[in-house]
Amino acid sequence: MVDGQKKMEELAITIMHNILEYLAVSEEEMKWLGSPGVASTALQLNSYPLCPDPNRAIGLAPHTDTSLFTILHQRISGLQIFKEGVGWGLVQPVTGALVVNVGDLLHILSNARFPSVVHRVVMKEAKQRFSVAFFYSPPAYFNLDPLGLSFGQIPLYRSVTVAEYVGRKAKDLEKALTSIRI
């Protein structure tokens, strides 16, 4: 499990480097990224028991993850994402592929260019479902600002430490993002 967690962190670092490059954010601004083991990480094992009447139950209520992003492994379908104007859509499991869900911290950092995804888990199949979620965030002390803005672009969110945002999310849930909106 420890080895798995280390591998997941290596993968998360690679993904993060690519995102920063795309956003034109200097790695100087993310010094913590250069020191493996410093990021806040959590590995969560989810188990959704067999459900006799899937239409009358929900596996996991709609939410956004607080993390920068979450790397998810699923074998059986159930994960759905919400798209404005489209509604709920199933994220079909693909053998050998992982799902990357954008969380609130990346939403803030990217000034909403990477919007956090509202997702839920429905009980669609009459099978027990397992998923493994790896949550990846900067260390708690890190001060997060919208970065990589071009000339004239205004930041949509005020500066916030990871610790403060995590506290707000625990209290205000889906209102946390709006609570730091400028």
Ligand X SMILES: O=C(O)CCC(=O)C(=O)O
Kindly list the catalytic residues. Answer: 129
Asked whether the beta carbons of 22 and 74 are under 8 A apart, the reply is: no
Q: How far is the CB of 122 from ligand X (least distance, A)?
A: 10
Residue 8 binding ligand X, by CB under 6 A: no
For Fe ion, which residue has the nearest CB? 65
CB neighbourhood size of 26 (10 A): 10
DSSP H helices in the chain: 2-23, 104-109, 162-172, 176-179
In which element (H, E) is residue 44 found? Answer: strand 40-48
Residue 104 binding Fe ion, by CB under 5 A: no
Residue 51 amino acid letter: C
- CB-nearer residue toward ligand X: 69 or 142: 69
Q: How far is the CB of 103 from ligand X (least distance, A)?
A: 9
Q: How far is the CB of 10 from ligand X (least distance, A)?
A: 21
- CB-nearer residue toward ligand X: 93 or 148: 93
Question: In this chain, which of 39, 40, 65, 117 binds Fe ion, going by CB under 5 A?
Answer: 65
Residue 104 binding ligand X, by CB under 6 A: no
Cα dist from 79 to 34, 86, 88, 97, 110, whole Å: 32, 16, 10, 14, 24
Q: Considering only residues 50 through 89, tell me which ones interact with ligand X, judged by CB under 6 A.
A: 60, 65, 72, 74, 78-79
Let me know how long the chain is. Answer: 182
Residue 169 binding ligand X, by CB under 6 A: no
Burial class (CB in 10 A: 0-12, 13-18, 19+), 131: buried
The number of residues that bind ligand X (CB under 6 A) is 12
How far, in Å, CA of 111 to CA of 39, rounded? 21
Q: How far is the CB of 79 from ligand X (least distance, A)?
A: 4
Residue ranges that bind ligand X, judged by CB under 6 A: 44, 46, 60, 65, 72, 74, 78-79, 119, 121, 131, 133
Q: Which residues here bind Fe ion, judged by CB under 5 A? A: 65
